[in-house]
Structure 1
Amino acid sequence: MIQSAPFGHAPDGSPLSLYTLTNVQGMEVRITNYGGIVTHILAPDRDGRLGNVTLGFDTAAEYFGRSPYFGALIGRCGNRIARGRFTLDGVEHQLSVNDGANHLHGGEQGFDKVVWEATVEGEALVLRYRSPDGEQGYPGNLDVQATYTLGDDGALTVDLRATTDRATPVNLTHHAYFNLAGGGTVNDHEMWIDAPHYTPVDEGLIPTGELAPVAGTAFDFREPRAIGEAVYDHNFALTPGVGMRRAVRVREARSGRQLEVLTHQPGIQFYSGNFLDGSLGFPHRSGFCLEPQHFPDAPNKPHFPSVILRPGEVYRNTLAFRFSRY
């Protein structure tokens, strides 16, 4: 069941709505058409008590200009592009830079900061947005659709699709911050990642181009380990597979909550909340992000899986966050 309610106005005056999805478990997910942001995920603990397991705000205005991508849709290109530049079909393109000298998560006005057209279609919330040619420096008109569903199995599924009229990089993802305890730090959360390699980064968090083995490093999550053992903001190269597969499992012992991330993407960015500093009401490392996507800076790394979408093709990224108890 999906219900809607007013959620204030965007900076340009456009009315916003908040949509609430529920399932038979009593789970509740709230999503606004501003940035496709998931503001709340209420999931049961081992005793059946509901708690909010994602970081976010209660009002739309709190997201304007100050949110570190809490719960948002990310595009056109998630993650970082070095110097905001890339060459495509012999033409160099300059994107907006918003992370030092680099381009991050679609630029200064990424998909997280636009008002999406929303419709309820059965048990699905469907958001649509046309990104015009030249927006943030990207070539081509890009038509994007994001479909949210909440299954009775506890899975919040986000299906992202896009088409273009001109070749352009596309690397969409979702940027929820999770805390399965519902508060405190996430340092004691136990994580497993099905990834034999990761992409090392330079001081600007741009991949060096190397695909390094995780064996013998703090990046080896093939055996579960605590998030707090190290600092993470890295792309993990997942074990190759066909179709949707489980890439990550996270457990929190006190609540008994478990999160599984399912994806068909080649990588997943794991961020351990390093830049949270309490200024927004969320302490240091009080949330973590798991962002299924292609590799960072792929437009400048031809040996990475390609993120170039061309006319006549359909981009698709389906990701699922499945909550349960153990």
Structure 2
Amino acid sequence: MRVLVPFVVLTGAVVSGCLDWIPTVEVTRRPWGEVDGKEVELFKLRSLHGTTVEIAEYGGAIVSLQVPDREGELADIVLGFSDLESYAADTNPYFGAIVGRYANRIAGGRFELDGEIYTLPQNDGQNHLHGGVRGLTRVVWDGDPVETEAGDGVELRYLSPDGEEGYPGNVEFTVRYLLTSSSNLRIEAEAVTDKPTVVNVSFHSYFNLKGEGEGDILDHELQLLSSSYTPIDANLIPTGEIASVPGTPMDFVQAARIGDRIDEDFEQLRFAGGFDHNWVLAPWYKPEEPKPTAVVYEPVSGRRLMLSTTAPGVQFYTGNFLDGTLVGKGGRPYIHRGGLCLEPQHYPDSPNQPEFPSVVLRPGETYRQVTEYNFWDDLGDSSPLE
């Protein structure tokens, strides 16, 4: 049994040229229950500006994320549950979770690497989804507070053994959730392996900028800096084509209301029941630091969210499988399209599509992805994408 020691990290700032030290980020931890006989802790990160994030060791899930609106009122803007048991249930649609080893879909639950065929669980019809039955989502990570130059928060670690969910290699995953001095939520993901394998980590928070459980996200406006996407077939697997967005409902280069596009008569939207597609960012350019990619704006609260990432793609998903049967932490049902996801990633089914950017990780290499979520309101600066 682990000994649970209260822990607080405070980072400071000097204000107005004086020597007064003011804490900007506080990190605390507490027991949250057990899964499969393993203790699970819940970490809370709180900034001087009021932003608060709670992260569970189970699945590395973002359990809550409270940010202010234009009036300074805080609201929890991510969908989720109030108890650990609900996160461990089979009905949990990856709320807030780390997903992998391979995020998104692999066609037929199989891929070939270095002449060998690997067979994976088919947990999405005939496809393999988000790393399998357990993946990185339904396991307990080891967490500890961490201080870095980029910010302070929690570092989570998980060793996925060789053969887990059918994947080759013992893979050591490290994910750091950090609050920066400007209250950005920064997520750093790394992985190393002892055998050639494939890796694609993503993060599956469902956002509703009005507040979790406050209706659907159709009034949200999205701007997405991408001129192309990967079309899918009826099984939600990429066809291999890179298609241009101009003249289609997939064009969010200029900000547009999601509800004005989502039900257009367009085959891609019919296949997915809404948006559930990968937009192409920078397939072969790997920046060291995240680049601004998307902004979401909700006009009632005035909240804005900006996604920046080093990943080559982002999956925009509109909660098409939510149907009101799940009741969230606020006691309200999560209705159809009650949240949206912006999932930084490599392209779906890349292990079977060699024309897509490579997802192969070999011994001696380090997989790395950095993503930041920035929050502000419409009383501040306009979108950095404009």
Does 1:238 pair with 2:281? yes
Shift of 1:33: 0.1
What does residue range 13-92 of structure 1 map to in structure 2 within 5 Å? 13-64=37-88, 65-92=90-117
Offset of 1:124 from its aligned partner? Answer: 2.3
TM-score by length of 2: 0.83
CA contact (8 A) 2:153 2:178 kept: yes
Is structure 2 residue 134 aligned with structure 1 residue 109?
yes
Match among 138, 157, 165 for residue 136 of structure 1: 165
The answer to whether the Cα contact below 8 Å between 2:190 and 2:369 also exists between their aligned partners in 1 is yes
Q: Kindly provide the amino acid, as one letter, of the partner of residue 161 in structure 1.
A: E
Contact 1:250-1:258 at 8 Å conserved across structures: yes
Give the equivalent residue in structure 2 for 1:211: 242
Q: Compute the displacement of 1:68 (Å).
A: 0.3
Distance 1:181 1:136 in 2: 37
1:262 aligns with 2:291: no
- Determine the C-alpha separation between the residues in 1 that align with 2:319 and 2:179: 26
Structure 1 counterpart of 2:347: 295
What TM-score do the two structures reach when normalised by structure 1? 0.98
Cα deviation, residue 152, structure 1: 3.3
Q: Which runs of 5+ in 2 are unaligned?
A: 1-25, 263-273, 328-333, 379-386
SS of structure 2 residue aligned to 1:269 = strand
Give the secondary-structure state (helix, strand or coil) at the position aligned to 2:241: coil
Could you tell me whether the CA contact under 8 Å between 2:282 and 2:311 is conserved in 1? Answer: no
Deviation at 1:153, TM superposition (A): 1.8
- Which of 139, 144, 157 matches 2:186? 157
Q: By how many angstroms is 1:206 displaced? A: 0.3
Query: What CA distance in whole angstroms lies between the structure 1 residues aligned with 2:258 and 2:182?
Result: 26
Pairwise CA distance, 1:13:
1.5
SS in 2 for 1:113: coil
The amino acid that maps onto 2:364 is G
Q: What SS does the corresponding residue of 2:178 show, helix, strand or coil?
A: strand
Asked if the contact 1:194–1:239 (Cα under 8 Å) also holds between the matched residues in 2, the reply is no
Aligned to 1:170: 199
- Worse-matched range after superposition: 295-304 or 61-70: 61-70
For the 8 Å contact 2:77–2:209, the answer to whether it is kept is yes
Quote the Cα distance in structure 1 between the aligned partners of 2:180 and 2:377.
Answer: 15
Identity among equivalent positions (%) equals 47
Q: Which amino acid aligns with 1:325?
A: D
Structure 1, residues 156-187: CA drift from partner, whole Å, max 9, x if none?
A: 11100000000101000111000001111100
1:278 corresponds in structure 2 to 324
Aligned AA (1:236): W
Separation in 1, partners of 2:323, 2:257: 21
C-alpha distance in 2 between matches for 1:259 and 1:154: 12
In the alignment, the residues of structure 2 paired with residue 5 and residue 283 of structure 1 have an alpha-carbon distance, to the nearest angstrom, of 31
Does the aligned pair in 2 maintain the 1:154–1:324 contact within 8 Å? no
* Contact residue 196 and residue 239 of structure 1 kept, 8 A: no
1:313 Cα deviation from its structure 2 partner: 0.2
Aligned-pair Cα RMSD in Å: 0.9
Partner of 1:177, secondary structure, is: coil
Number of matched residues? 325
- The whole-number CA distance in structure 2 between the counterparts of 1:201 and 1:121 is 40
- Separation in structure 1 between the aligned mates of residue 52 and residue 347 of structure 2, nearest angstrom: 31
Compute the displacement of 1:129 (Å): 0.4
What amino acid sits opposite 1:296 in the alignment? P
SS at match of 2:118: strand
Q: Give the distance between the partners of 2:68 and 2:116, measured in 1 at CA.
A: 51
Equivalent pair of 1:84/1:96 in contact (CA under 8 Å) = yes
SS at match of 1:112: coil
Tell me what 2:356 maps to: 304
Whether 1:127 and 2:156 are equivalent positions in the alignment is yes
Structure 1 range deviating more: 119-128 or 205-214: 119-128
The aligned counterpart of 1:320 is: 372
Which residue is 1:97 aligned to?
Answer: 122
Shift of 1:154: 2.6
Mean Cα displacement is larger for which, 149-158 or 111-120? 149-158
For residue 256 of structure 2, what is the amino acid of its counterpart? R
Secondary structure of the corresponding residue to residue 103 of structure 2: coil
Task: Provide the secondary structure at the position in 2 that maps to 1:83.
Answer: helix
Displacement of 1:66 = 1.6
Instruction: Give the alignment partner of residue 247 of structure 1, picking from 288, 293, 296.
Output: 293
Q: CA deviation at 1:244?
A: 1.7
Q: 1:239: Cα distance to partner?
A: 5.0
Which AA in structure 1 matches 2:357? Answer: P
Q: Distance between the aligned counterparts of 2:321 and 2:146, measured in 1?
A: 37
Which amino acid is 1:75 matched to? G
Preserved contact between residue 216 and residue 339 of structure 2 (Cα < 8 Å):
yes
Counterpart CA distance in 2 for 1:227 and 1:157 is: 26
